[in-house]
Amino acid sequence: MDSINEKSLLTESQFEQSDVEYDQKEVAYGGFFEMQKWQLRHRMFSGEWTENFQREIFCRGNAVAGIIYDPWRDEIALIEQFRVGAHAHPTGPWCLEVVAGMMDKGGESPEEVMARELEEEAGLQAKDMEFICRYLSSPGGTDEEVFLYALLCDLSEAGGIHGLDEEHEDIRLLVFPAQEVFAAMLNGRMNNAATLIGLQWLQLNRERLRGQAAVVE
């Protein structure tokens, strides 16, 4: 790495898409989601190329997620719903989460999808929406990218059961004082990346959001 500015690696890789060669791509399974099987090789840090090898890619598509916060009441809303992937988790398959959904309708921006999912899963409309980050949920095996937001909402009358019957959703909206959520967020009930990242971001930005809300009032 003598000829590479190591500091620049914090913002971009020395490699790019042309440093990967795909010999074959085929669909191994096609259903609600798709699993693909690829034969590929890529350039190594030594400058040489790897041999051809196989990887399976879970093609899930992109998603949005949003942490619901009321800066006027200092409250956080989380949804609770059944998640089959958590069937063996010690706390059980009913998880506390942020609102989220797939970007599966063409032509919609991430913000439009986020607003729709907030209405469907929580019965709320955001007074303001702040972009937090975008991240790959598990790049070792899936192409899913998540667009994460802070959703500033009035939670004075929030609660109840939400979700779409045609999507077999049974979603309960729960509202808690922010400090109680922060104290419990690592106990295992909030066990997915979008929720934990959103809550940690909110911890760092909570006072700023409350101050901005007070000015608006």
Instruction: State how far the Cα of 145 lies from the Cα of 20, in Å rounded to an integer.
Output: 20
| CA separation, residue 88 to residues 33, 60, 94, 106, 192 (Å) | 22, 22, 11, 35, 14
CA distance linking residue 155 with residue 176, whole number of Å? 10
167 as an active site residue: the answer is yes
Contact 52, 73 (CB under 8 A): no
CB of 178 within 8 A of CB of 93? no
Exposure string over 140-156, b if 16+ CB within 10 A, otherwise e: eebbbbbbbbbbbbebe
Catalytic residue among 167, 180, 207, 217: 167
Instruction: Give, in order, the Cα–Cα distances in Å from 141 to each of 31, 68, 82, 101, 182.
Output: 17, 29, 23, 20, 30
CB 155 within 8 A of CB 70: yes
Residues involved in catalysis: 167
